[in-house]
Amino acid sequence: MISRRVKLSLYQLISEFPFSEIMVLIEKYTFGEFLFSIQHNKKTDYFLEELKEIISESTEEAVLDIIDEILRVRRTYRNKVNPKYKFDERWGELKRCLLLEGLKIEEGELKRVEPEIEGSNSAEENLKKEILNSDLQKRDDIVLLIENSSDAFIKPEPDFNGSLSNIRTALETLAKSIAKKIIENAEEDKEISSWGVYISYLKSKDFIGENEEDALTGVYSLLSELHHPLVGFSEEELTSFARAMGLRMCYFLIKKYNGG
């Protein structure tokens, strides 16, 4: 399912278009009605707020249809935006938001590069809900780290190292928080201070098995050591891939902690 982040990024791009182009796009692909706009015939603050609401409430099909049209005639839309850098910045951000959802613009087409679970929210949204529904002391900090990772990835000048660093820290903080809760519940007098110790402790308590330990440590290493693109992959693509793996490991840990 398309995330709210993608919809808001699309809204930011469309809001740069001329009034008439916005009206046509909305009429073609959504059920939004701008009756008040017909009277005013300009982009008022009220109009833009209503546009944001319509895009936010649009179906995934409508959002993808709008993106597909912009993709097909991108140069036409770009020529209608002044200055041009506003289009370029918003378009680049939208592409990175889509990549975080497993969608990639390639050879003039929007392609899914990661499998989608039908009827689900985005993986990141589900993860944040699970974390916030837990009783972990650091849950707000972990969610903030995940959001900071997204922000670093999609901003006009992406900080790919920062994006991975935030996800790595989120994974580490989550594992440590779970380990501390188990220690607290068992009334043990034990100090844990490093990633390896957290994971070893969780294994010793049968919270995770050997294969799961290997997967967690492998992804943690990937997030720590991914500094140079591999042949056939851009830095953007590798960052997106490694980040997705980190999110999945976080989701595995929090679902297990919350009772599956």
pLDDT at 42 > cutoff 90: no
3-state secondary structure of 109: strand
Quote the pLDDT of residue 104: 85
SS3 of 113-125:
CCCCCCCCCCHHH
Mean pLDDT, residues 202-206: 94
User: 223 and 167 in contact (C-beta within 8 Å)?
Assistant: yes
- Which token pair is 223? 């997030």
Quote the pLDDT of residue 148: 96
Most confident of 71-85, 94-108, 114-128, 191-205: 71-85
- State the DSSP code for 229: P
Instruction: Give the separation between CA 176 and CA 201, rounded to whole angstroms.
Output: 10
Instruction: Give the separation between CA 179 and CA 145, rounded to whole angstroms.
Output: 19
Instruction: Give the separation between CA 257 and CA 178, rounded to whole angstroms.
Output: 7
pLDDT per position as a tens digit, 62-91: 999 999 999 999 999 999 999 999 999 999
Quote the pLDDT of residue 120: 41
For each of the domains in the chain, give its residue range(s) and CATH number, in order of start.
Answer: 4-112 (no CATH), 123-257 (1.20.120)
Instruction: Give the separation between CA 46 and CA 95, rounded to whole angstroms.
Output: 27
- Which token pair is 257? 């902690």
pTM tops 0.85: no
Quote the pLDDT of residue 119: 37
3-state secondary structure of 14: helix
